[in-house]
Structure 1
Amino acid sequence: MSTHKWVGSWSVSPVDFTDAPLYLDKQTIRAKIRLSIGGTKIRLKFSNRYGHQPVFLSGVTVALSEKDSDIVEGTNRMVTFNGKSSTIIQAEQEVVWSDEIDLETANLSFISISLFFSEETSITTAYLGNSECYISVGGDYLNSNVFPIDQIRRETGIQPALPLLTSIDVLTSEENSAVVTFGDSITAMDWPDYLAERLIKEGKNMGVLRQAIGGNKVLNDSPATFHYGWSGIQRFQRDVLLQTGVKYIVVLHGVNDIIHSCGPHPISKPVQAEEIIKGLQSYAEWAHEKRMKIYGATIMPFGGYNGITSHEEEKRQAVNHWIRTSGKFDGVIDFDAAIQNPEKTSELLPSYDSGDHLHPSKQGAKSMAESVNLNLFSNWLC
């Protein structure tokens, strides 16, 4: 008889929205989320990590997604917490789990999660990134197949942040596991999605989790005015090692430690390549303590980015040399080699450049994912 276990299928690292809280007044917010791996049941994890006050979550539902904010009729499920339909998430509370939910999901499928707040609520723990979020007009629309969007907010053109929800687990076969992709804005973008698609296509039912924050650094927290999150060495253990069913980690981190201190208006103090290396080595040591395999990804070219000089390029080369040769990681994923311009290796290949000379285009992100050797994720005994 086959056995089952919980494995992470989707996740984010929340950031501090204290300087721009998300206000909801008797409203429902619905998020459309793409899972990486499916299962027979799901469960949800919430966090009020940066909360200054308790948040009353009046109700939560989950359903299979239709177009945009609509859901598939008949698939809506009420979410409970210790048998109750509502819960209070305390200030700075790191984890609140839902009960398990009877909803079967497929690999790479979309689900919609709806959160209702029955009173005026200010939320400062949220994430702005890889999900589509919709805020309703006033009212409880947890069980509505069609979602009445607050057009006034929508017309601002500002995508609402996703509050409180930080991960989704699925109940799946015992042999399945997950990989955490850890880093900054480049990982918060597209390449983990393309990796998830490749894994499923090749018959590897593996969850791909994304613990990435735009602007994030290995060594230093960001100024209060930026939503760049705690430093990697501050958040690695809770954002990576506590995820469910994880066997593998891919780290692409360190570019912001280098570039945030350059240019006419630096936002971070300068750090040396040796300091970044020490931080990355800590990641490897922590992963190995938990008997996880960790792969180091090389920092990609940023030639042409605003303020970059040969000094920053020297740091990048030094960190990449260590990643490739130190043996501290269980393997190397050479994103630098995969998307650099072979005629000018300090720059991205033009077709792989989103336009700012730092972030890859969708084509570049796809090439990153295609460069990953999927044999790195072969089953092995813990």
Structure 2
Amino acid sequence: MSIGGPALRVHFSNAFGTEALHITSAHIARPVSRASSTIDPASDRSLTFAGSAEALIPPGTELISDPVDLPMPSLSDLAVTFHLQSPPSRETGHPGSRATSYYVHGDQVSAATLVEPKQVDHWFQVSEIDVRTVPGSATIVALGDSITDGHGATTNGNDRWTDVLASRLQSLPKTRNLGVSNQGIGGNHLLTDGLGQNALARFDRDVLAPAAVRWVIVFEGVNDLGELARVGEVSAAQHAALVQRVVAAYQQIIVRAHAHGLRVIGATITPYVGSGYYHPGPLSEADRQAVNRWIRSTGNFDAVIDFDGVLRDPQHPDQLLPAYDCGDHLHPSPAGYKAMGDAVPLRLFDRAN
């Protein structure tokens, strides 16, 4: 959780399912720890959907539970437990959760602890948590790829850069009513589908749909740049054309966000020379520099966060600083994520701006 509150509701998604998803029962509770299937039984609450304990979610949609009273402090952890009548043939899930899920056979949604559960670091079906909070609260959406998703962060450690930002917001009375919605997907592209839908295709669902969105941080593009020449170099003309398409995608995001009253914050693309997956050459690095110049230019985004400046090695600016590199020369380490979260200027979320 980022913001806390006295009541909440849970979004269950069947966005990518091919048949109706039948949830026979669902509960929420406070977990005993981040890395355990045990809950505090006194906090266990049943979820309902239009008053019913069951929910049938059509393919391609999501369902929001009724609000339920369960006071949750800011930055606390929540356990969501549900039982499916039958496993879906196509799952809607989040493989880059960096958080552990536990599963067993049978309906054990109210069990204080699961007996010999299997576990996987993956979220299923749950797509969002809404919290009832004070008037004037708002949401910051982080739209990104694996660096926002948290590749290289600590499993069950809640140390992605978005977690660091959420903690900083909670530390100040002026920003304590601002929540962070992490909409990062590993392997995400601006222009083409990868592990998930491209950023333009998922924009309405992941940026406009969450409750009370006021700002969106756009931190996308490294996968588009890296993929172009991943299996072999291409012409300079193809590189130039890709830069134009990436910039055009940013412009589309800005136009669509502004149409809904959102302020759009662009984040510069971080270095990735040395990556064993993309092995970028000089032309790819030139593409990154060209895109970053556009991001930094006044009058494009409403504001800019210079993650490139935060993470790059001053001696080798096309590479990550070793202390901030998780080891693959593409994704930050936990120390790198902390530096990123600490570098986001909180004045960007001043409503007077």
Q: TM-score, normalised by structure 2?
A: 0.90
Q: What is the one-letter code of the residue matched to 1:37? A: I
1:60/1:114 contact within 8 Å kept: yes
1:135/1:149 contact within 8 Å kept: no
1:196 alignment counterpart: 166
State the 1:215 CA deviation. Answer: 0.6
* Inter-partner Cα distance in structure 2 for 1:323 and 1:137: 47
1:352 alignment counterpart: 324
| Residue correspondence of structure 1 range 146-165 to structure 2 within 5 A | 146-150=113-117, 153-154=118-119, 159=120, 161-165=122-126
State the 1:144 CA deviation. Answer: 1.1
State the 1:347 CA deviation. Answer: 0.6
1:132 alignment counterpart: 99
Q: Decide whether aligned partners of structure 1 residues 136 and 126 sit closer, same or farther in structure 2, where only a CA change above 3 A counts.
A: closer
| Residue correspondence of structure 1 range 252-267 to structure 2 within 5 A | 252-264=219-231
* Inter-partner Cα distance in structure 1 for 2:66 and 2:265: 33
* Inter-partner Cα distance in structure 1 for 2:169 and 2:329: 28
Q: What is the one-letter code of the residue matched to 1:367? A: A
1:136/1:149 contact within 8 Å kept: no
Q: What is the one-letter code of the residue matched to 1:289? A: A
1:84 alignment counterpart: 52
Q: Decide whether aligned partners of structure 1 residues 51 and 64 sit closer, same or farther in structure 2, where only a CA change above 3 A counts.
A: same
Listed as ranges, the gaps of 5+ residues in structure 1 are: 1-34, 223-227
1:168 alignment counterpart: 129
2:207 alignment counterpart: 240
More displaced 10-residue stretch of structure 1: 161-170 or 316-325: 161-170
Secondary structure of the 1:218 match is coil
Decide which of 272, 284, 300 is 1:302's aligned counterpart. Answer: 272
* Inter-partner Cα distance in structure 2 for 1:221 and 1:113: 29
Q: What is the one-letter code of the residue matched to 2:28? A: V
Q: Decide whether aligned partners of structure 1 residues 380 and 57 sit closer, same or farther in structure 2, where only a CA change above 3 A counts.
A: farther
State the 1:47 CA deviation. Answer: 1.6
1:48 alignment counterpart: 14
Q: Decide whether aligned partners of structure 1 residues 338 and 60 sit closer, same or farther in structure 2, where only a CA change above 3 A counts.
A: same
1:217 alignment counterpart: 189
Secondary structure of the 1:46 match is strand
Listed as ranges, the gaps of 5+ residues in structure 2 are: 151-159
* Inter-partner Cα distance in structure 1 for 2:166 and 2:350: 15
State the 1:89 CA deviation. Answer: 0.9
Q: TM-score, normalised by structure 1?
A: 0.83
How many positions carry a matched residue from both structures? 333
1:341/1:347 contact within 8 Å kept: yes
Q: Decide whether aligned partners of structure 1 residues 160 and 123 sit closer, same or farther in structure 2, where only a CA change above 3 A counts.
A: farther
1:73 alignment counterpart: 41
Q: What is the one-letter code of the residue matched to 1:349? A: L
State the 1:131 CA deviation. Answer: 5.4
Secondary structure of the 2:288 match is helix
| Residue correspondence of structure 1 range 24-63 to structure 2 within 5 A | 35-63=1-29
2:215/2:262 contact within 8 Å kept: yes
2:215/2:263 contact within 8 Å kept: yes
The structure, 1 or 2, with the larger RCO (C-alpha pairs under 8 Å, 6+ apart) is 1
State the 1:283 CA deviation. Answer: 0.8
More displaced 10-residue stretch of structure 1: 127-136 or 194-203: 127-136
Q: What is the one-letter code of the residue matched to 2:266? A: G
Q: What is the one-letter code of the residue matched to 2:180? A: V
